[in-house]
Homo-oligomer: A and B are copies of this chain.
């Protein structure tokens, strides 16, 4: 039985970790960390867990937690994990960090986009970027996994095969992404009130969103050259789901069959990636509650562009589900253990 601790267990991503791990036969949660609710019953904060979780919230003492746990999930604000991580902790417990602290290899880029000083740059090199389908082999031996961002996971996986195969002109890549509101977290902020979000859609963080450099770095590795993209997130009046609509100019004339073959080359064996095919438009509702990424595309001969579309549940494949998938890989478990979550519809 793997003993798991969660720091930030009362945020939406942390709560989703709890939900998923409740159904994971090989894991026991030993620590529900929540700085805001210390000593409160967890089920009092999340009523859905009444009669399911019988535990109180604890603080965020990573050292003590490392002594009790085999794996620590940090579902915490940027900067937390970097400020507390240590060789001593890593010697005792593996860490899956759901924040951005160890996602970006160039510390200057991190500090520029996140506007905070990185407190533990010495661990950046060791950290493995936990995009399971791309970095599976490296994750197996990792002590520290940087779990990708929600927009990032969706954007990269949608474009990855075509970037890797050199089919699209990376200088023309634009990702227009739409996210449910749980991505904004559970903080009591006016812009996230029901009446402000409901019946409304808006872009935000235009040309400045922090997931941009993360997408660029990873697609840069894939394409073998530096990548600069336009990335625009939008807030949609729904709880869960991210849809990424990506546009790129095709480098040469390719048929939809050829595109499908390229996707299949990389994803056919991937349980959690469903390429729904040419002319098909993924819907976020079809993946809700599950760890799936659904990908569709359309070649537009009129403009010589391809439009790629990817859909995920931001809290599952975009956060907690991928974190558990990473944990499974790190501990040598079948990758889908605890993740056979059938999408909930409607």
List A residues at the B interface (Cβ < 8 Å).
12, 15, 19, 22-23, 46-52, 172, 174, 176, 178, 180-182, 186, 188-190, 192-204, 206-207, 228-230, 232, 234, 236-241, 243, 245, 247, 274, 276, 279, 281-290, 292, 294, 298-300, 302-303, 305, 307, 309, 311, 340, 342-346
Contact = CB atoms under 8 A, between A and B. Distances in A.
Contact of A282 (B202, B237, B284): B202
A249 to B, nearest CB: 9
Given A198-B239, A241-B199, A305-B230, A285 B342 contact: no
Nearest to A19: B342
Given A47-B286, A303-B230, A241 B201 contact: yes
Contacts of A276: 47, 50
A186 B195 CA distance: 8
A19 to B, nearest CB: 5
Contacts of A345: 15, 19, 46, 48
A50 B230 contact: no
A294 B247 CA distance: 25
B200 A285 contact: yes
Nearest to A247: B174
Contacts of A230: 247, 300, 303, 305, 307
